[in-house]
Structure 1
Amino acid sequence: MSQDQPWPGNGTGIAEAPAQRTTLPPTAADTSPENPWPLRLLSEKLKAHIDRVPPTWVEGQIIELNRRNSVTYLTLRDTDAEASFSLVAWGSVMSRLDVPLQPGSRVVAQIKPDLYIKTGRLSMQTRDIRPVGLGDLLARLERLRQALAAEGLFADARKKPLPMLPHRIGLITGRDSDAKKDVMRNASLRWPAVAFEVREVAVQGVSAVAQVMQALAELDAMPEVDVIVIARGGGSLEDLLPFSSEDLVRAVAAAQTPVVSAIGHEADRPLLDEVADLRASTPTDAAKRIVPDVGEELDRIARARALLARSVETMLRHESERLAAMRSRPVLANPQGMLQARADDLQRLSTRAYGCIRAAVDRDRDRIAHLRAQVRALSPQNTLDRGYAVVQVPGGAVLRDPQDAPPGTRLRVRVAAGELAADVVP
C-alpha cells in the first residue's frame, strides 16, 4: 500500500478518525497519536536510511566467537571504551583467513549495517576481516608517534620541570599493584614526610584509557598535588597499548601538573613516555627521581656547613693578617710622627707667609713715605714756606699781571702763616 492510499475502515467505528485520513505524514516529526505511521513504513524508511551507510572499516577485539555451519557470529569490542557490536560473517569471508580467529584476537573488519524489515533487527554484515599482527600495531604506533611529534607534543621545550621537593604526589596505578608498592615504599624510604594521593585504575583492557584519563583530570585539578606519576610494572605490547592512546597522550600534554611516566618497559616505549615531562625506567626509578634522599640531603647540608665554616675561618684569618699588616705600617705604628711632620710643615709655611707679609708691608711703607715727600715737595704750602706769597684779585683768581690790578683794587695776599688784604695805589 502506498503512502497516498487511504486507510480502509475496520467497520467497528472505533478508529473512525484514522479511517478518514487520505495521506500519511511525510516525515516522522509530523506523526501524532491521531495520524501515526504503520510500523512497516518505519521499517522501510529505516532500511532505506541504513542501506545508504557505506561499508566501514573498524578495529576491535573479539570477545565472543560462535561458528554455526557456514555462519560465524562474533562480538567485537572497542579496545579503549565500553562499546561492542555483534557481527555476522559468512563462510566465504572466514575462509579467506590463513589462521582461524580466536577470542581475544585484535582485528580490523569491514562491516555494513543491515536491517531485517520483518523483525526490525539490526545486524552487522562482515564483508572482510583481517587480524592485526604485531608488525601492524608497531607501524600504526610509529605513524601516530611521528604525527604527534610533528605537532610538538614531544618537544623538550614544553616539558615542565619537576619540583625539587614535592609535598604531595599523585599516583595513578593498578589496584594493589607491585608498581604502587614500589613507588610508595621507595619514596617513603627516601623522604619519610612525603604524602600520596593515589588513584587505583585499570592499567590494561578496554576501560584503562578512560580510567587513567579521569584519574589524571582529578589529580591535575588538585592544587596540593605537585607531581603526578603514572606507573605500571611493564607488560607485553598489547598490554601497554592503552598508554599509547592518542586521547591519553593529549590529556597528559594538556595537564598543568608535571607528569612522570613509569611504565617500566624498555623494549617498546609507549607514547606516554614521549609526552611525559619525565620518563622513569621503572616505578622504583620514578620514586628515586621525584623525591630527594633525606640521607643524601643531610650529608650535603653537613658538607655545605663544613665548607661554609672553612670559608669563614679562612676569611677571618686573611682579614686578621691584613689588619696586622696595616697596624705595622709606620703611619699606624707612630701616628704622632705623621701629625708632627704636618705641624712642622704648617709652622714653616706660616713663618714664611708672615715674612713675606712683613717684607711687602715694609716695601709699601717706604714707597708711601717717598710718595708723601714728593707730594710735599710739590705742595703750594711748601712754596709759601720758602717766603713766597700768592696774590688773588677779587673773585679768587691769582694775579699774574700788574695790569690786571688797577689802582684801588682790593687784593688778597696769602703767605706761609696766613693771609692779609692790600690795596693797589697809584
Structure 2
Amino acid sequence: MDRTPLSISELTSRIKIVLEGGLPALWIRGEVSQFTSHRSGHSYFTLCDDQTQLSCVLWRGRARELNYTPQVGDLVVAFGRVVVYERGGRYQFDCYDLRPAGLGELAQAFEALKQKLAAEGLFALERKIPLPPLPERVGLVTSPGGAALQDILKVARERAPWVEFHLAPANVQGPGAAAEIAAAIRALDQSGWPQVIIVGRGGGSPEDLWAFNEAPVVRAVAECRTPIVSAVGHEVDVTLSDLAADLRAPTPSAAAEMCLPDRHALRARLEEAALRAQRAVTLRLAEKRRWLTDRAAPVLAHAMTGRWREESQRVDEISRRLDRGVRLLLERRREALQHLGARLDCLDPRAILERGYAIVRRAGDPQPLTDAARLQAEDEIEVAFHRGGATARVTSTHHD
C-alpha cells in the first residue's frame, strides 16, 4: 500500500476520473427546488428527493432548445451526466434534456380515454345544443375563490349587467375534484334554472387540469340537457370536457363573451333595424306614388270631362289614405322601437341605482340579497350604489 500522501488536486483528479469514467449519460428523476436563468443564457437548478439534492446546469445551447420552463416544485426527469468541478471540489449534473415527469403517462391516459368516450358517441356533433341568443340566467361551475369566477363576472357587468348568475361551487383540482364538478353540473341541469351553464377554471399544468379529463366530468358535460360551455385553462389547453361540451371557449372570459350579448351591440342593432324599416317604407311609398301617377296619366288626358274629375278625386283619396297609412305604420314602428329601448334601459341595474336604490350582497357572494331573513347580526355585506359602493356589518335585522 502506497503511503505517499496525495495533494487535494491529485485526489480531485482521481475522483473525476472515477465518476466521469464510471457513470455514463443517464436519466434521473427529482423535484425542482431552485431554478435560475442567468443573463448568459445558462440555467442553474437543484433537483432533490426526500433524502438528498443535486446541483444541475443546463448550458445555453441546450436551454434554447428546451420546450419546457420548469417551476419550483415540478417533478421532472433529466438526461445528462455527472461531471466533477475540480476547482471547487464538487460535482454537478450536466443536463442535456429536461421534461416534466409523468407527462408521457398522462398523454397516454388522455388518448386512451378519448378513444373510449368517442366510441360511446360523447363527442358527436349531433349531440351539440345551440346556445340561447339572449340568456338571462347563467349557471357557473368553478371554484368560488378562483380567478375564473371574477373574470366571468367582470365581463358580464360590462356586456349584460341584467343577467343573473348562480354558482355551484366545486374544487377544480386535487382528490375528489372530478366528483364535485360532475355533481355540480348535474345539480344545475336538474334544477331547470339556468338557460346556459359555464364550467371551467383558469390555467395550470396538465396535472392541475386533469379533473376535466376524467370520465365522470366528461359524461356529466355530454349528458347535460342545458347548453353548456367548457372554459378550461388557456387557449392551448384542450381537455376531454371541451370535446364533450356544446361549445369550447379558450378562457373563462371568452366563455362569458360567447354566452352573453353585448348591450351596446344590441342597441346598435335596434337602431339599424329602425333605419331599415324607415327606408323600406319610404321606398314603398315612392313606388305607390309612381303607380298612382301612371294610373292618373290617362285620366289627365280627359281633363275637361267628369270622368277626369271623378278619377282625380279618387286618386286624391287614395293618396290621402296611403299617406295616413304610412304615417300610422311609421308611428307604430317608432313606438315599438321606443318600447324595446325602454325595456332595455329598465333592465339595466344602474338605472334603478340612479333612483336611489342599492344592491346588497353578502360579502364574497355575487348573488343579490332580496330577503332580510338570509342575514344575521355580524354578517358582512357589500352595498353597491349608483356611484361606488360600501362594505358594512349587520347589527340587526327585521322582517315585514
User: Of 205, 218, 243, which aligns to 2:187?
Assistant: 218
| Preserved CA contact (<8 Å) 1:264 1:280 | no
Q: Which amino acid aligns with 1:139?
A: Q
Note the C-alpha offset of 1:270. 0.9
Instruction: Work out the CA distance in 1 between the residues paired with 2:119 and 2:140.
Output: 29
Question: Counterpart of 1:156 in structure 2: which amino acid?
Answer: L
Which of 138, 142, 145 matches 1:169? Answer: 138
> Where does 1:372-387 land on structure 2 (aligned, <5 Å)?
none
Give the secondary-structure state (helix, strand or coil) at the position aligned to 2:191: coil
Describe the superposition over 1:356-392 as per-residue Cα deviations: whole angstroms up to 9, x where unpaired: xxxxxxxxxxxxxxxxxxxxxxxxxxxxxxxxxxxxx
Of residues 271, 274, 282 in structure 1, which corresponds to 2:243? 274
Instruction: Report what 2:226 is aligned to.
Output: 257
User: For 2:154 and 2:74, how far apart are their aligned partners in 1?
Assistant: 37
> What is the deviation of 1:262?
0.8
The answer to whether the Cα contact below 8 Å between 1:230 and 1:261 also exists between their aligned partners in 2 is yes
What is the SS of the residue equivalent to 1:147?
helix
Distance 1:259 1:327 in 2: 63
Q: What is the CA-CA distance between 1:267 and the residue it aligns to?
A: 2.9
Amino acid corresponding to residue 145 of structure 1 in structure 2: K
Structure 1 equivalent of residue 127 of structure 2:
158
1:264 shift after superposition: 2.7
Label 1:197 to 1:327 Cα distance change in 2 as closer, same or farther (>3 A). same
Specify the alignment match of 2:322 in structure 1.
Answer: none
What letter is aligned with 1:260?
Answer: V
Which consecutive aligned stretches of 4+ in structure 1 deviate over 3 angstroms post-superposition? 97-106, 330-338
What code does the residue aligned with 2:161 have?
A: P
- Which of 305, 308, 312 aligns to 2:274? It is 305
Q: Is the contact between residue 326 and residue 332 of structure 1 (CA under 8 Å) also seen in structure 2?
A: no
Residues 232 and 250, structure 2, Cα contact 8 Å, conserved in 1:
yes
The DSSP-based 3-state class of the residue aligned with 1:231 is strand
SS of the residue corresponding to residue 221 of structure 1 reads: helix
Number of aligned positions between the proteins: 218
SS in structure 2 of the partner of residue 203 of structure 1 = coil
State yes or no: 1:323 paired with 2:292: yes
| 2:232 matches 1:235 | no
Which residue identity is paired with 1:253? A
Q: Cα RMSD over matched residues?
A: 2.6
- Are the aligned partners of 2:170 and 2:181 in contact in 1 as well (CA < 8 Å)? yes
| Deviation readout 1:241-289 (Å, 9 max, x if unpaired) | 0000011111111111111001133334110110000111111101100
Residue 120 of structure 2 aligns with an amino acid whose one-letter code is E
Distance 1:239 1:318, change over 3 A: same
> Within 5 Å, which residues of 2 pair with 1:325-404?
325-330=294-299
Match of 2:10 in 1: none
Quote the sequence identity (%): 40
Q: Does structure 2 conserve the Cα–Cα contact (< 8 Å) formed by 1:169 and 1:194?
A: yes
- Contact 1:180 1:231 survives alignment (8 Å): no
User: 8 Å contact 1:187–1:194 — kept in the other structure?
Assistant: yes
SS at match of 1:186: helix
Q: CA deviation at 1:224?
A: 2.2
Q: 1:332 to 1:308 in 2, by over 3 A?
A: farther
* Alpha-carbon distance, 1:332 to partner: 8.6
> 2:140 aligns to what SS in structure 1?
strand
Q: What CA distance in whole angstroms lies between the structure 2 residues aligned with 1:167 and 1:145?
A: 34
Of residues 278, 283, 295, the one that matches 2:264 is 295
Partner in structure 1 of residue 318 of structure 2: none
Is residue 201–residue 232 contact of structure 2 (8 Å, CA) maintained in 1?
Answer: yes
Looking at structure 2, the residues matched to 236 and 251 of structure 1 have their Cα atoms a distance apart, in angstroms, of: 23
Question: Using the alignment, how far apart are the partners of 1:219 and 1:337 within structure 2?
Answer: 75
**Contact 1:178/1:233 (<8 A) preserved:** yes
Shift of 1:153: 1.2
Structure 2 residue identity aligned to 1:230: V
Which of 170, 178, 188 does residue 201 from structure 1 map onto? Answer: 170
Distance 1:324 1:144, change over 3 A: same
Q: What stretches of structure 1 of length at least 5 have no aligned partner?
A: 1-96, 107-130, 339-426
Structure 1 residue 175, shift from structure 2 partner = 2.2
CA distance in 2, matches of 1:275, 1:196: 23
C-alpha distance after superposition, 1:112-153 (max 9, x if no partner): xxxxxxxxxxxxxxxxxxx97211110110121122222221
Q: Which amino acid aligns with 2:108?
A: A
Question: What amino acid sits opposite 1:290 in the alignment?
Answer: C
CA contact (8 A) 2:235 2:251 kept: no
Structure 2: 5+ residue stretches without partners: 1-26, 32-48, 51-72, 76-99, 309-400
Q: 1:337 to 1:248 in 2, by over 3 A?
A: closer
For residues 216 and 226 of structure 2, the distance between their equivalents in structure 1, rounded to whole angstroms, comes to: 17
Which one-letter code corresponds to 2:216 in the other structure? D
The answer to which of 328-337 and 288-297 deviates more is 328-337
How far apart are 1:318 and its partner, in Å?
Answer: 1.2
Larger Rg: 1
